[in-house]
Amino acid sequence: MKLTVRVWRQKNARREGRFAEYEVQDASPDMSFLEMLDVLNERLIRQGEEPIHFDSDCREGICGMCSCVINGEAHGPESQVTTCQTYMRSFKDGDVITVEPFRAMAFPLIKDLVVDRSALDRIIQAGGFISVTTGSAPEANSIPVSKYHSDLAMDAAACIGCGACVAACKNASANLFVAAKVAHLNLLPQGGPEKDPRVLGMVEAMTSEGFGACSVTGSCEAVCPKGIPTSFISRMNHNFLTAALKLRVHGPRG
């Protein structure tokens, strides 16, 4: 496959960025998008040029590290996959592919396609801990969990924290991410005792980190590599509003 790849190049947060155009002559349809960038980078290194910086880790769609916006879509054209699981067969020979970093005020750019997503980690920290006895394994049936709620909590826990929801949202809102993280603990009895301080802390952190409000557009759900539905956002809103209207909530804070 012959491709033209337009990539955002930016030396660091202080410098101006621009798009650079590269011809890729030898892409195979079986390559992942990141492998195509690897091939391009090897050539750039051979030519003595600075390779394109991008995030990647597991390359099997579960770590949430890869983070490009490809032709206007976070993680590329296929649904429910990450950039590393996007294959070149999703593109046509001769295509011009524009690759941009995740854009959000809360995700400061580090270099090229690499952005700092530690705001998401700080939101998790603001959620605090769960009260479980560590050490010996508890008796399996001592805490009953309904099938419905365990399934729902598992769906929420599928979030890999990649930040595609933020990248795709017109408001750079992190509501889907935070909603998934709130739900996967708040739905289970183990997360129950700290349910109120957790949601209050995480929502406050989300606002102060500079993420926008939710406009319920559904773009986040459409690009989420784990297909987490926006109904979790409504669940978080419910958790938050009921906790907030209590005004005084006592409990631990991370």
Partner 1 sequence: MNQTSVGMNSLWKVFTTTIGKKAVMAATGGVLLLFVIAHMAGNLQMFLGWGDINNYADLLKSHREFLWPFRVFLATCLVLHVSTGSFLAIDNRRKRGHSYEVKKLVGASFASQTMWISGLIIFCFIVYHLLHFTLGVTNPEYLTFRDAHDRPDVYRMIVTAFSTAGTVCLYALGVATLGFHLSHGVRAMVESLGLRMETWASRIDKTSLVVACLLFLGFASVPLAVLMGLLQLK
Selected from 15, 116, 213, 227, the binder of partner 1 by CB under 8 A is: 213
Tell me the closest approach of the beta carbon of residue 199 to partner 1, in angstroms.
9
140 binds partner 1 (CB under 8 A): no
Tell me the closest approach of the beta carbon of residue 141 to partner 1, in angstroms.
26
Contact 33, 87 (CB under 8 A): yes
**Nearest Cα to Cα of residue 167 among 225, 122, 84:** 225
Identify which of residues 46 and 248 has a Cβ nearer to partner 1 in the complex.
248
Selected from 40, 52, 119, 236, the binder of partner 1 by CB under 8 A is: 236
Handedness of CA 182, 113, 219, 213 (dihedral sign): positive
Strand 73-74: give its sheet, edge to edge: 18-24, 3-9, 96-101, 68-70, 73-74
Contact 20, 98 (CB under 8 A): no
Selected from 36, 211, 226, 228, the binder of partner 1 by CB under 8 A is: 211
Can you read off the two tokens belonging to residue 17? 């960025």
Mark out the alpha helices in 5-75 (DSSP H runs). Answer: 33-46
71 binds partner 1 (CB under 8 A): yes
- Residues interacting with partner 1, by CB under 8 A? 6, 8, 19, 69, 71-74, 98, 100, 103-106, 109, 128, 152, 168, 170-173, 175, 196-197, 200-201, 203-204, 206-207, 210-223, 229-231, 233-254
